[in-house]
Structure 1
């Protein structure tokens, strides 16, 4: 009997409700439908959005199969899949690209109208391929990467070179690539410009790397964790601000470093509501641009209208403005060639069965990314 017709039983990290403990349990994974593939996950990683997901963001549907960063190998393919085969290494993403809809052909956004970002916790046909004890499982975005096997619609994945470092591939499936893309595709940072980055986790380090690639001459990083300074410098940071070390505000310190005028671009990568206004205020009057990248459970943010009225621009960004095929493939190629110092992100590793240790590790000051070994 071909594998595509069989249900697979495997282990996955599950959350049964807001505030409930994460458990590793046996689940069932259905065969792929016509335009889907079933994937054996090889490596995954932990992102702050995963913490938000067990708190009810971006949707409040449980039981929830966790994880959205990772890389895997195709185990079986649906009947209508022609561009992929068993054995291909893929990165699942949550942004599709049809290359034909109004948004895709506009060149102005990565938000495809045919294959949109899905906050339903289900597949595009509004069903699930995952179940536990006969009960339907939801996933965070397009799939659940903290499962040994998962089914993904082919329009939400990217085939990559099998020589790619698996941990690094996982990092670019969301966090690092989101920051990098925000500087490259969304802000379009100009050569010689000045940049401020709030929050120096994987997303912030990606924004620093993207800004450096675009030729920014001054890149200021803001973080209360002093240990992030060295990490950020490896990606191109020129100045570091720890707000805890000064009686002055981060805004004042950034303006001092930028001749009193503010920076050309700022990137808010934390999702902390109070920092959004600060990130706008530190940019130049009339021309400053702020990218809102970080997200969290609290998404209603009061804005300082005066800061916006004085000509500054505030723009939101999903996945750093990256298109899955057109743009992420370029980052994947750079990743495979080790053009980024992604080893600086890899600080901890745990097996799937010890997933709760990953949440504790993320609280440690020396932790950037926790890699999850799937098998």
Structure 2
């Protein structure tokens, strides 16, 4: 058992509490990892705000990199000392979803209906004598335990404080462009939400050769940043006299070829869908809506040919594909460093969330001492 620090969410609508926790050794098929760096994601923020319901108290966080400390019986793909990415979405490599050429929602996922427990129904964390739940990979701690099927070995030279966002934000943003929507050269794209994931979508659209990229956000401080990444037009719905989707349809002569929703609100999901071209527009939902939210729109919107799609982690098979993104990053085929706007020591994680909630910044990385 290792004793270390972790940031615990005891309840929603309260700061994280830095506590001393006990981390059990890995069981068969599991890996214990020393966390080096972790990003903050909108999903974590929604849980802390009580919008997404998960078992509490819990250790949150799922954009993590670290070094393997020990392995359980039967683990063969990593060994102590390996640098690794940790994935919220596992890849068992055996279920019908993993074996399908496109599927990535492994049957062993714990995202859609989170239990807060490992596959055997237990937790590896204890604090003050109480069991602490997990959330996915629980990276807001100095040590975590995850299943081997949620770990990917990466280049030994990779900077862990830079590539941690490749556990979620980067593959999510790139994947919806390249795998889900399949953006074409010369097309028009609209992105709702210009945070970390929305910015990764912008980078993907530009790399795909989109000729016009429209960014939609209510925080205009993001607009200069978005234009530097490739956005050609910026819209603030609060400054418009008509619904933003009507403005997008008018300025594009019928609607965007591709629309992406990276906010996580049903209103913006409908707006993104209605921004699509009537005949061949494709809308991809990325944001996670609050628990119990229902999406409602006129079904006649679909009949003329629009397509509404969803994707998790950009449809990437995590262990098979995402470590290759790190290799491409190391070979300078793309550069996502600008998506990380701040870095904080572990004990300042609540300060990081304060800035995150202000919506003026994109991504944050903490580095445990």
TM-score of the aligned structures, taking structure 2 as reference length = 0.93
The Cα shift of 1:57 comes to 5.7
Distance in 2 (CA, whole Å) between partners of 1:201 and 1:101 is 34
SS at match of 2:164: helix
Q: Tell me if the contact between 2:2 and 2:24 (Cα under 8 Å) persists in the aligned partners.
A: yes
Residue 39 (structure 2) aligns with = 45
Q: Tell me if the contact between 1:347 and 1:366 (Cα under 8 Å) persists in the aligned partners.
A: no
Distance in 1 (CA, whole Å) between partners of 2:324 and 2:297 is 35
Deviations 1:237-256 (A, max 9, x none): 23222234433432233223
Give the 3 Å change call, closer, same or farther, for CA 231–164 of structure 1 in structure 2. farther
Distance in 2 (CA, whole Å) between partners of 1:341 and 1:360 is 27
Deviations 1:336-368 (A, max 9, x none): 234434232222222221221112111345411
The Cα shift of 1:145 comes to 0.4
Match of 2:135 among 124, 136, 140: 140
Q: Which moved more, 1:30-39 or 1:232-241?
A: 232-241
Residue 230 (structure 1) aligns with = 224
Distance in 2 (CA, whole Å) between partners of 1:340 and 1:364 is 28
Match of 2:325 among 305, 325, 331: 331
The alignment status of 1:280 with 2:273, answered yes or no, reads yes
Q: Which moved more, 1:11-20 or 1:206-215?
A: 206-215
SS at match of 2:106: coil
SS at match of 1:362: helix
Distance in 2 (CA, whole Å) between partners of 1:115 and 1:362 is 27
Q: Which moved more, 1:281-290 or 1:219-228?
A: 219-228
Distance in 2 (CA, whole Å) between partners of 1:231 and 1:323 is 30
RMSD: 1.9
The alignment status of 1:352 with 2:346, answered yes or no, reads yes
Residue 31 (structure 1) aligns with = 25
TM-score of the aligned structures, taking structure 1 as reference length = 0.92
Residue 17 (structure 1) aligns with = 11
Distance in 1 (CA, whole Å) between partners of 2:80 and 2:104 is 28
SS at match of 1:20: coil
Distance in 1 (CA, whole Å) between partners of 2:90 and 2:60 is 20
Which ranges of structure 2 fall in alignment gaps of 5 or more residues?
Answer: none
Distance in 2 (CA, whole Å) between partners of 1:28 and 1:234 is 45
The Cα shift of 1:231 comes to 2.4
Q: Which moved more, 1:66-75 or 1:323-332?
A: 323-332
Q: Aligned pairs, how many?
A: 367
